[in-house]
Amino acid sequence: MTKTTDQVALDQWYAVETVAEITDAPIATRLLGQDIEITRDGDGFRVREILDDGGRGPALPVQEKYGCLWTTLGTPERSIVEIPEAYESDRRYVPCGWVKMRASGLRVVENFLDMAHFPFVHTDILGSEPHTEVPQYKSEIRRDVDEVWATNCSFFQPQMTATRPEGEFTQLTYRVPSPFVVMLYRACPTKPGRRDAIALFIQPMEEDLCRATPVMYLLDDEASVTQLRRFEQVIFLQDRIIVENQRPLLMPLEPRAEIPTRADSSSVAYRRWLKEKGLRYGTTAEAG
């Protein structure tokens, strides 16, 4: 695999490692088909391309944000996504580790948006029978901020949090601020009027291979960090099985390629948004 020529993909910011996990030993990984190396540089960090001859390219732009190291292979016009909840002092920051998946990172975003699979994949956690219907909700491309949002979502969840085993209907909001970042806002059962925030940062290594890390900003003051992390990891590993078994592994953007239902309106909006941007990397369209 070689680095893509898809400029839309190149001009994005990507989380590539958890800052706390970067040691003095160089870390080799891949981004958009390009081998890269992460190293410590004094008090900061350096990311460089690994060249075909084994040399290293010039230092790439880097930023530390949300506990992760971010970089880009292009020239982003936009900043890294803003998550206001990350700056609220009463929230608990819970990084949940990285999971590698043999699938397009776009497929991972789409799966994150899908409520219909809750009762069948996350049985007795995020969903259960007979509560299988996805009530109608609103999906839109918000042109003023260039993001995809799904609002007025509700679903019955048997286990609201790591320490609340009783089930109830919960209000959900989804946000896609960039092609490889997706967020969930969930009404907090113990703090009326406020919402937990869960972000998923995806590192597209190749078109059909990615890494992803959930990062949570929670109002839960009862559960231990281990409980919270285990709760999210169980869900994410269940999703991994589904995502890796989808065919094709890449994301089709043509409307007739896969037949959507009413429950898929957020996915339809997401795909339309990607197509408008001209993104090809990780899709069944011809990519560079």
pLDDT per residue over 91-129, tens digit each? 999 998 999 999 999 999 998 888 654 443 434 444 445
Residue 180 to residue 9: CA distance in whole angstroms: 9
CA distance 40 to 255: 45
The whole-angstrom separation of Cα 205 and Cα 159 is 33
Using a pLDDT cut of 70, give the percent of the chain over it.
Answer: 83
Res 233 pLDDT > 50: yes
**In whole angstroms, what is the distance from residue 63 CA to residue 103 CA?**
26
Q: Is the confidence at residue 261, as pLDDT, over 70?
A: no
Fold of 9-71: N-terminal domain of TfIIb (2.20.25)
Residue 240 near residue 271 (C-beta atoms within 8 A): no
Q: Name which CATH class applies to 84-277.
A: alpha beta
Structure confidence by residue, pLDDT tens digits, 46-60: 999 999 999 999 999
Residues of the chain with CATH 2.20.25.680: 9-71
What is the average per-residue pLDDT within 139-165? Answer: 77
Round to whole Å and give the CA distance between 170 and 160. 8
Question: Count of CB atoms within 10 A of residue 3's CB?
Answer: 17
Task: Specify burial of residue 190 (Cβ count, 10 A radius: 0-12, 13-18, 19+).
Answer: middle
Residue ranges matching CATH 3.90.380.10 in the chain: 84-277
162-182 average pLDDT score: 79
Q: What is the pLDDT of residue 192?
A: 82
CA distance 167 to 165: 6
Comparing 126 with 66, the larger pLDDT belongs to 66
pTM score, two decimals? 0.87
How confident is residue 134, by pLDDT bands cut at 50, 70 and 90?
low
